[in-house]
Structure 1
Amino acid sequence: MNSTARLPHDERDGRVNAVYSSSASTWGSQVSKGRVKWFEAALKDFGFNRQNIMSTSSASGQSPETILSVENVFDGKVVRLRLYSIKLPSGHIGKREVLQHNGAVAILPVLPDGKIGLIRQWRTAANEWLLELPAGGIEPNEVPEECARRESIEEIGYKINKLSSLFECFLAPGYSSEVIYGYLAEDLEYVGAQPEPDENLEFVPVTLDEALALLDEGKIRDSKTICGLLAYARKIAK
C-alpha cells in the first residue's frame, strides 16, 4: 500500500523549478498559515490574482459555441459518453467528446482529536494506491449534502453533525461535466463504517501539517484532496 512520491519533472521551466526548490526547503518547517501565504505568493509570482483571472472570462457568460448535434456513444453506470458537434464563431465545425457525470462530493472530516481523516484506496485508473479525502458519487435524486453525510458513514464511520461548504470545482472540464462539491465536516460522531462490497479502504488520520507535508512530497496527488487541504488551510489561517 506504499504511495510513491513523484517530484516535478526536471524539464519544467526555470521559474517552476525555482519556486519548487525554495518550497522544498522552507515548507517543511512552517505552520499551516505560513504555507498558505507561500502558496498565494507563488501564484502572484506567476501573475495570477483574482482580478486578472476574472477579467479573462466572457463579459456575457454565454457560450461562444453553437451545438449542432449530440450523439449518445455510451451509457455506463457512472458516466455517459456524448459526442458533440459544435460550431465556433469562426465558422469552424468541431467535435467535443464529453463524459457526463452526476457529480460527486469530497469530505474533509475534522476528527474529535483535531486530525483530518484521510483514506488510502486502490484506484484502478491510476494503477496505484492514493491518499484521498473521503468521497463518493451523487446518486440520482440526491443532493450533495445528503451524499456527503451518507459517504462519511459508509467510508469512515462518522455521522456529521456540522457540515459546511469548503470548495467546488470541475474535475476535468476539458472532457468531463463532473463537479466536485467539497465539504468541511465537524462535530463528528462515530457510528461504525459501512463500506461498499467493492471498496478496499484504509483509514489514515493525520494532522493538517502532516497532510500538507505529504502534499509537498508528492505523496498526495488526488486533485479533490489537494483542493480540500488548501481550502481548509486557507480557512483556518484567516
Structure 2
Amino acid sequence: MDRVAEASSKSQGAYRLILGMITEGSLPAGARINVAQLSGELDMSAVPIREALKLLEAEGLVEVLHNQGARVAAFDPVEYKEASELHAVLEAYAARISQPTLPSGTIDALRQANHDLREAFQDFEPHAFSEASIRFHSLLYAGCTNSALIELLTKGRLRIAAMRSAQLAFTPRRMEILLREHDEIIDMLESGADGGQLEEALRAHQILNLEDTLSRRVQLANPLS
C-alpha cells in the first residue's frame, strides 16, 4: 500500500471510530473533542484524527471552532426533521422496490434484529440499540440493487443516528408501539403484501419515530413544562 492510500485508510478508520462514538453517545452533542485524548484512545496519530474530523465537519456532525478546537455539533431539530423526512421517503421506496428480491433468510434476520432492539432498550444499551436499529432498517432493502440509493440510505441512517445520539431516542410507550410496527412490517414482507401498502406503512412508521424523538427532546429541554 502506498503512502497516500495508507493515509486515506487511516483517516477512514478514524472516521468510522469517531462516528461510532457519536452514534452510541460516548461523544454526545456539544461535547468537546480532544484530539490528543482521542489519539491515545484510538491508538493512532493525530493526523488521521484531524482528517476524520474534517470529514465529519463536512457532514455537519462536528463543528471546528477557530482557536477552540472541535466539538460534536449541537442537536438541530430543523436539520434532524428534514434529514429524517427525506430518509423516510427513500427507505420506504427502497423497501418497496426490493421486496420481490429479498434474499433468503431476511425475514428471520429482521425478527432477530427486532428482538435485539427490545433487549437493548430494556437493558439501556445505546450502542447495541443503535446497531440493531441500523441492522433492522438496512435489512428492509436488502434486495435493492440501486447502488446510488443504497449509498444515500447508508449515509443518511448513520447521520440521523449520530444526530440522535447520547440517549435511547424513544419513550417506553413509543418503543412498544415501534416494535409492534416492526412486526407488522415484517409480516407484510413475509406475506407478499402490496408494495404500495408496504411503502406507506414504512414511511408512516418513520415519521412517527421522528415526531416522538422531537417530542422527547422538547420534554428533556423543558422538564417542568
Same fold? TM cut 0.5: no
Larger Rg: 1
Structure with larger RCO (C-alpha < 8 A, sep 6+): 2
TM-score (norm 1): 0.24
Greater percentage in strand: 1
TM-score (norm 2): 0.25
